[in-house]
Every structure is written in structure tokens, then in C-alpha cells.
Amino acid sequence: MRKLFLFVSMSFILGSLSALAQKKEPAKTLTPEEIAAQELEERRSMHAEEMLENTRKVCFIDSLVVDKDAFLSRLRLTKDAGRFTDPNSLSRSAEHPETGRAGFVNSMSTAVYFSAADASGNIVLQTAYRTGKGWSAPQPISELTGFSYMDYPFLCSDGVTLYFSAEGEESIGGLDVFVTRYNNNSRQFVRPENVGFPWNSTANDYLLAIDETAGIGALVTDRRQPDDKVCIYWFIAQNFDKRSNYAYDEDDEEAMEHLRNYAAIMSIAKTQSLASKQTIAQAKEQWVKALETVNSSTVKNNRYIINDAIVYNDLSEFKVANARAVAAKWSESSSQLNEMLERLDQLREDYAMSHSSKLESEIRNLEVQTVQLRLQIGALAKEFRAAELGK
């Protein structure tokens, strides 16, 4: 009887210990902040998965790891693409001294975009215009909302498309690159959109810039980098507005793995399968030549530069009739551009005094026209040079 009791007791104890061993620990009670962070992470993960199917086909041709604090000086953009500047030299109030890390001045040095603290202390994108005595008073771009931080603006040569980095509701992690466009009818920028993969990642993606003269784009990101480093990826940007996405088949595990690798830019070499060796070589050659060439798109003393050794001072010096006709159009367009630039200077001076919305609209419209005319002038210059040289 005693043995039976001991057996039953031991069995009960062992069973209880087994039950206790299998019993799960009580769930940890999360704070409201932890719950919010968890929900944000889940939303970002779902958003990233949704964007994966729209991963853009991009051929990357070079990359460089540089110090995070100095990457703007290593971008290698032509003058036609504009330039970056220190935002502290543009706006720094005693009440709200905070600014972003970079300001951007367009190619004509007529407008600047940068981020700085607004009246509420939020870091938002702002813009100012060139006046006869410097820059007009900065004005926040109020229609760009929904972000906790905005920085690294880049305005494309069309004078309409604006890229910037920010952290907001549609981010998938850290800073993401967003794009917006200026609507001349409403005189406002449209709702920004996340540019997706491969430009963005769960790390910080700081900047996307397109240099149309060089035919090259640049992406700056700290994905897979030490805390003090970033990687600059250069890619072929010819016909950049003609988007092409990777095929998407969620049932093919191997294809999905390749897609995720392309989206994360795991291998530059593999992206080069998207273009022929000749195309890549030509893109690199154009890039190098564009950086070496001094940009002169307006007439200076009626000089027509044919190449490094041949310069004409008068249309009568042209030997090819077609080249002479194109050069005449170039000269006329360049004079028109000079008049438009003078008009812009006057409008900006008037705007600095009145901040009239009508003047702002006229300025923006004229800026777009001057950008388009500059591109036309550049094309005419290439045409008359080629015609004169028989190319």
C-alpha cells in the first residue's frame, strides 16, 4: 500500500512538473509606444511587399563607398544638373536654427530648395528665389505634408520634378526617397509618392538625382554600410521617364529571390545584364565627356564653338549651309533665353517685395520655359557642330 501511494505521489509530482515545464510564460504587457512601434513595423513590412512587384529595371554602372558627411562633394554631377549648397547659408533663425543637411540650387541659380524649421519647429522643405540682392525670404512648401522629417531635395532639369528624402507614413524604413511634381494649373506640388525599389530600402536612402546632360543618375544610401559611411550608386538614366518593371511571379521561388536581390541592389554586375556592353560603354563615355565639357549654352560675343580647335565669330564663316541655318536658330534662341532670364530677375525682385501668388505662378511658368529652352539650345548646338564637321 505504501509503495502504491509513493508511486501515485511520484507520478502526480512528475506530471505536475511536466505540465509546468510545458506551460507558456504569460504574455508581456506592451506599452502604448511599443504597440505603436510594432504596428508601424508591420505596416512598413506590408508596404514593402506591395512595392516589390513594381521594382524598376535599372542598370547600375558604378558605386563608391564614401564618408557619410562628405558624400555631396563626391556626386560628380554636371553644372547643368544644378548644385548642392549648405542650407545654413540660406536660412537660420534665432528661434528655429535647425536645418536639413543639404540645399539644392537649380542650374540657372534662380531657385533654391532646402529644409529648415518652420514656425512649429518641424523640419520641412522650403524654397526661395534669386533676387537682385540675394535670395527672397524662404517659404515652406505647405502642400508637402505627412512627413516627420524632410531633406536632400533635388529638382530635375524640367523644373517640375522634385525628389527628396523623408520619413513618413509611406516609408518602409529610415529615410525613403519620394517624388512630387509641380502643377502649373494649381500652382502647387502634387501629393508625393514613394519611388519604391530599388531606390528605397529598410535603411536610410538619402538622395536620388538625375543628370540629363551626363545621362547618369545617382542614388545615395547607407544600406549594408557602417554607421559613418554611405554608398553612391550610379546608374544609366537615359529615357528615365520610360519606366520598366521586373516580371513578378510570386509562385516562382527562384524568380522571387532574384527580384529581392535586384530590389536591394545586391549585385551591380547582375543589373548590367539589362543592357548591352556597348550601351554601358557608351553611357560611361557620355558621362566622362559631360563632366569634362564646360557648359556654355548662351551666346557670348557671337562665338560659335565647333570643337576645341575651331571657333567662328560670325555665321558667314560656316561652310555647310545646313549648319549655318541651325546656328542661326541657336543664336536666336540664346538671345531669347537671355531676355527671359532678365525678365525672371525682375519678377523675383518684385516677388521679394510683395509675395504675390500671381507673380509666383508667373515665375514658375517662366522657369519651366527657360529650362526647356536651355535643353533646346543645347540640342541645336550639338546639331550645328555635327553638321559643320560632317558627322
In this predicted structure, what is the pLDDT of residue 173? 82
Tell me the average pLDDT across 70-89: 83
Is the same domain home to 68 and 124? yes
Which of the pair, 113 or 135, is modelled with greater confidence?
113
In this predicted structure, what is the pLDDT of residue 200? 94
In a domain, 281, yes or no: yes
Is the same domain home to 123 and 271? yes
Is the same domain home to 337 and 367? yes
**212-238: per-residue pLDDT in tens?**
999 999 999 999 999 899 999 999 998
In a domain, 293, yes or no: no
Tell me the average pLDDT across 118-135: 81
Say if CB 194 and CB 178 are below 8 A apart. Answer: yes
Among 252, 287, 322, the domain-final residue is: 287
Whether residue 302 has pLDDT greater than 60? no
In a domain, 280, yes or no: yes
Question: Running DSSP on this structure, what letter comes out for residue 56?
Answer: B
Among 262, 287, 312, the domain-final residue is: 287
What rounded mean pLDDT belongs to the chain? Answer: 81
In this predicted structure, what is the pLDDT of residue 343? 81
Residues 98-116 as b/e (b if ≥16 CB within 10 A, e otherwise) read ebbbbbbbbbbebbbbbbb
In this predicted structure, what is the pLDDT of residue 226? 92
Contacts of 30 (CB under 8 A, 6+ apart): 38
Give strand pairing partners of 245.
Answer: 56
- CB-side neighbour CA atoms (13 Å) of 255: 10
In a domain, 14, yes or no: no
Whether residue 61 has pLDDT greater than 80? yes
In a domain, 25, yes or no: no
Tell me the average pLDDT across 283-299: 67
- The Cα 275–Cα 23 span in angstroms is 59
Top mean-pLDDT range of 5-9, 174-178, 291-295? 174-178
Query: How would residue 160 be classed by pLDDT, with cut points 50, 70 and 90?
Result: very high
Between the CA of residue 352 and those of 138, 306, 357, 367, what are the distances in Å? 10, 41, 11, 16
Tell me the average pLDDT across 172-185: 91
Contacts of 290 (CB under 8 A, 6+ apart): 78, 211, 213, 214, 215, 216
- Helix segments in the chain, DSSP class H: 2-22, 32-52, 253-263, 268-271, 277-292, 321-354, 357-389
- The Cα 210–Cα 217 span in angstroms is 4
Say if CB 160 and CB 187 are below 8 A apart. Answer: no
Is the same domain home to 212 and 323? no
Which of the pair, 249 or 140, is modelled with greater confidence?
140
In this predicted structure, what is the pLDDT of residue 215? 93
How many CB atoms within 10 Å of residue 126? Answer: 26
Tell me the average pLDDT across 337-345: 80
Burial of 217 per CB tally in 10 Å (0-12, 13-18, 19+)? buried
Is the same domain home to 132 and 244? yes
Give strand pairing partners of 273.
Answer: none
In this predicted structure, what is the pLDDT of residue 97? 58
User: Looking at 1-10, 179-188, 306-315, 368-377, which range is the least confident one?
Assistant: 1-10
Contacts of 62 (CB under 8 A, 6+ apart): 233, 234, 268, 284
- The Cα 382–Cα 391 span in angstroms is 11
Q: Report which of 250, 272, 252, 275 is spatially closest to residue 262, judged by C-alpha positions.
A: 272
In this predicted structure, what is the pLDDT of residue 294? 40
Whether residue 377 has pLDDT greater than 70? yes
Is the same domain home to 131 and 249? yes
In a domain, 296, yes or no: no
Which of the pair, 261 or 291, is modelled with greater confidence?
261
Top mean-pLDDT range of 28-42, 62-76, 108-122, 191-205? 191-205
Query: How would residue 271 be classed by pLDDT, with cut points 50, 70 and 90?
Result: very high
Say if CB 127 and CB 355 are below 8 A apart. Answer: no
In a domain, 294, yes or no: no
**10-58: per-residue pLDDT in tens?**
343 334 434 444 545 556 787 766 666 666 677 667 767 778 888 899 9
Tell me the average pLDDT across 323-338: 87
Say if CB 237 and CB 211 are below 8 A apart. Answer: yes
In this predicted structure, what is the pLDDT of residue 12? 36
In this predicted structure, what is the pLDDT of residue 118? 80
**What percent of the chain clears pLDDT 90, i.e. is strictly above it?**
27
Among 261, 287, 313, the domain-final residue is: 287
Tell me the average pLDDT across 188-194: 93
Is the same domain home to 59 and 122? yes
Q: Report which of 115, 173, 121 is spatially closest to residue 144, judged by C-alpha positions.
A: 115
In this predicted structure, what is the pLDDT of residue 354? 63
Say if CB 84 and CB 206 are below 8 A apart. Answer: no
Whether residue 209 has pLDDT greater than 90? yes
How many structural domains compose the chain? 2
In this predicted structure, what is the pLDDT of residue 152? 95
Is the same domain home to 245 and 330? no
Is the same domain home to 206 and 69? yes
In this predicted structure, what is the pLDDT of residue 344? 78
Is the same domain home to 167 and 199? yes
Is the same domain home to 148 and 275? yes
In a domain, 23, yes or no: no
DSSP 10-28: HHHHHHHHHHHHHSPPPPP
Provide the domain limits for residue 187. Answer: 44-287
In this predicted structure, what is the pLDDT of residue 20? 40
Is the same domain home to 324 and 260? no
CA 274 to chain centre: 22
Tell me the average pLDDT across 311-331: 87
